């Protein structure tokens, strides 16, 4: 089987959703393998905007079966809300959406644990507040986690919550330094609430690993959709300012159960510049005030988080970082997104190296302490003034824009297969 994986090579929000939608019709199944409703993927099809957090972007394509794999953490109300929004919008997904019985469930106490952890000053990561980290902590810790399959067994669920909730209450009260400030939860109330969700979720729940194996045997084509970006990967990202899952393609195997040998094409998605939400080092950040280039990119690119509405931090394209993530991801090609946002800037900068304590380097370090001290070394390229949103071939682009695309490709060391010049499906240049 020739499977494909779409992965972000920066700090998320690279427009992975648009690429998944663009090539979605070439596949029978689209699989999410990591993260949860911390993701926010916006896709614009024929002027209609779809916003997805937990469901794979593939659901928009009527011929595709969407799979939420075992590596995903699921907040049931969010799952049901997204299902309802799609059904109300005329996208019938009832027979072609499946949810792994092995996926882990997010409970209200996970959100509270995160709120308490994030209310401290220095230890703050700037998370999305969706309970992602605490749920993965419980998964790896093994004692307090509850999986989707367990929601479907009422007596068992009640018993599990009777064990878990008092412990969580004690933990959070201690964490909040006394009773004040920490919410206290009631096991019976949570069980009543989640059992209602469970009945609505039941038709979607299955052993997705087996389904994927059977589908591959039957010759089905599978597309993997990574959430977050490679620099947020829990192992290889800018730790501790990362998310709690493997967003690199390495997460595919564990997060879906389908061996990586089934995937023969890895598409790395990058923005023509860089953004980051939340805290952590960002060498090429343009923190240059309300009249500066950073704010201009934010405004033109509408760089505000889909999930939290926070303004995204903006900066120049970092070829050092993308070379690093492209290698870790095993990317075969890159798609260069939001190029139109750079139109009108007199000159553009590409980060081609770092200065670390007076020493020039061309390789990335994911060590947050070192990366914080890296000063970017830039190459400057001319900008263009033309509106490029109607360009459909490379030849339509102004010479300076073509040169920028070529230089990004050279610096990263990979071919550019798509250039995106607007949010719409049609605002796309397919290079090969
Ligand atoms: P994802 O999380 O990687 O799927 O990306 P997001 O959806 O969070 O952010 C990308 C945003 O850019 C979305 O609002 C898209 O509609 C939009 N977008 C995608 N491609 C382009 C493009 O080429 N130009 C512009 N201006 N916007 C784009
Ligand atoms: P998509 O799929 C951008 C960031 C958060 C925070 C850090 C940890 O839309 O690209 P978490 O809530 O995961 O514990 O937060 O990771 N983050 C994202 N940033 N895009 C995302 O997803 C993100 N998902 C998490 O802002 O810095
Ligand atoms: Mg996003």
pLDDT in tens, 116-174: 999 876 779 999 999 999 999 999 999 999 999 999 999 999 999 999 999 999 999 98
Residues with CB under 6 A from ligand 1: 8, 12-18, 40-42, 44, 301, 306, 337-338, 340-341, 420-423
Both 224 and 155 in a single domain? no
C-alpha 247 to ligand 3 mean position (Å): 13
**Residue 362's CATH number:** 3.90.170.10
Domain boundary among 171, 201, 231: 201
- Which atom of ligand 2 lies nearest, measured to the CA of 35? 13
236 classed as catalytic: no
pTM: 0.97
User: Domain check: are 296 and 420 in the same one?
Assistant: yes
Q: Does 45 have pLDDT greater than 90?
A: no
Predicted confidence (pLDDT) at residue 41 exceeds the cutoff of 90: yes
The residue whose CA is least distant from atom 27 of ligand 2 is 278
Q: Look up residue 194 and give its DSSP letter.
A: H
Number of the ligand closest to the Cα of 12 = 2
Domain count, the chain: 3
CA of 306 to the centre of ligand 1 (A): 10
Q: Which two tokens stand for residue 379?
A: 């190459």
The answer, yes or no, to whether residue 239 has pLDDT greater than 90, is yes
Considering the domain boundaries, does residue 343 fall inside one? Answer: yes
Nearest atom in ligand 2 to 128's CA: 12
Residue 328 pLDDT exceeds 70: yes
Q: What does the block give as tokens for 164?
A: 């878990």
Q: For residue 40, is it within any domain? A: yes
Ligand nearest to the CA of 301: 1
Same domain flag for 280 and 387 = yes
Q: Are residues 76 and 28 in the same domain?
A: yes
Which of these is catalytic: 41, 102, 104, 236? 41
Q: Are residues 55 and 164 in the same domain?
A: no
Boundary (domain end) residue, out of 167, 201, 235? 201
Residue whose entry in the numeric block shows the structure tokens 């290698």: 327
Q: What is the pLDDT of residues 163-216, one digit of tens each?
A: 999 999 999 998 887 656 889 999 999 999 999 999 999 999 999 999 999 999
| 180 found inside a domain | yes
The pLDDT confidence band at residue 290, using thresholds 50, 70 and 90, is confident
CA 104, 265, 6: angle at the middle one, nearest 5?
45
For residue 99, being part of any structural domain is answered with: no
pLDDT of residue 180: 60
- The SS3 assignment for 121 reads coil
Q: What is the mean pLDDT of the chain?
A: 96
Q: What is the pLDDT of residue 427?
A: 97
CB of 232 shorter than 6 A to ligand 2: yes
User: What is d(CA 113, CA 183) in angstroms, rounded to the nearest whole number?
Assistant: 9
Is the model more confident about 289 or about 55? 55
Structural domain range at position 348: 270-430
Which of 160, 176, 201 corresponds to the end of one domain?
201
Is residue 355 annotated as part of the catalytic site, yes or no? no
Dist CA 66 CA 29 (whole Å): 6
Do 336 and 191 lie in one domain? The reply is: no
Q: What is the C-alpha separation between 114 and 135, in angstroms, rounded?
A: 10
The pLDDT of residue 53: 96
Under the phi-then-psi rule, with left for phi > 0, alpha for psi from -120 to 50, and beta for the rest, what region is 233? beta
Position 1 pLDDT exceeds 70: no
Nearest to 275 by CA among 246, 224, 232, 245: 232
pLDDT at 178: 63
Based on DSSP, count helices (H) and strands (E) in the chain, helices before strands: 13, 20
What average pLDDT does the segment 99-128 reach? 93
């Amino acid at each position: 089987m020739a499977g494909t994986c779409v992965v972000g090579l920066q700090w998320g929000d690279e427009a992975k959703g648009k690429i998944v939608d663009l090539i979605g019709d070439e596949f029978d199944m689209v699989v999410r393998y990591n993260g949860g409703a911390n993701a926010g993927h916006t896709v614009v099809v024929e002027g209609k905007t779809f916003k997805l957090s937990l469901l794979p972007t593939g659901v928009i394509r009527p011929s595709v079966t969407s799979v939420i794999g075992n590596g995903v953490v699921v907040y049931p109300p969010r799952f049901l809300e997204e299902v309802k929004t799609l059904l109300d919008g005329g996208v019938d997904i009832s027979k072609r959406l499946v949810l792994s019985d092995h996926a882990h469930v997010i409970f209200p106490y996970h959100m509270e644990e995160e709120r308490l952890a994030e209310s401290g000053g220095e230890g703050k990561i700037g998370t999305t507040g969706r309970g992602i980290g605490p749920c993965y902590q419980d998964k790896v810790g093994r004692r307090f986690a509850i999986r989707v399959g367990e929601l479907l067994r009422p007596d068992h669920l009640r018993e599990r919550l009777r064990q878990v909730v008092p412990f969580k209450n004690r933990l959070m009260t201690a964490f909040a330094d006394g009773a004040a400030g920490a919410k206290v939860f009631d096991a019976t109330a949570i069980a009543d609430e989640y059992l209602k969700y469970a009945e609505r979720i039941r038709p979607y729940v299955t052993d997705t690993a087996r389904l994927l194996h059977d589908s591959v045997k039957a010759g089905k084509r599978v597309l993997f959709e990574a959430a977050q970006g490679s620099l947020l990967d829990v192992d290889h990202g800018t730790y501790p300012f990362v998310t709690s899952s493997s967003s690199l393609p390495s997460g595919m195997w564990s997060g879906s159960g389908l061996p990586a040998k089934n995937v023969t094409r890895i598409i790395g998605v990058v923005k023509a510049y860089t953004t980051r939400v939340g805290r952590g080092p960002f060498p090429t950040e343009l923190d240059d005030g309300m009249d500066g280039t950073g704010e201009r990119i934010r405004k033109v690119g509408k760089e505000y988080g889909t999930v939290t509405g926070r303004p995204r931090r903006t900066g120049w394209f970092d070829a050092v970082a993308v070379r690093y993530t492209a290698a870790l991801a095993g990317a075969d090609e890159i798609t260069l997104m939001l190029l139109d946002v750079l139109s009108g800037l007199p000159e553009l900068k590409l980060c081609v190296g770092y200065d670390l304590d007076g020493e020039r380097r061309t390789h990335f370090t994911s060590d947050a302490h070192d990366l914080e001290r890296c000063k970017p070394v830039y190459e400057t390229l001319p900008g263009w003034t033309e509106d490029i949103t109607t360009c459909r071939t490379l030849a339509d682009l102004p010479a300076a824009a073509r040169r920028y695309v070529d230089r990004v490709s050279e610096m990263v060391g990979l071919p550019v297969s798509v250039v995106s010049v607007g949010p719409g499906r049609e605002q796309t240049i397919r290079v090969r």
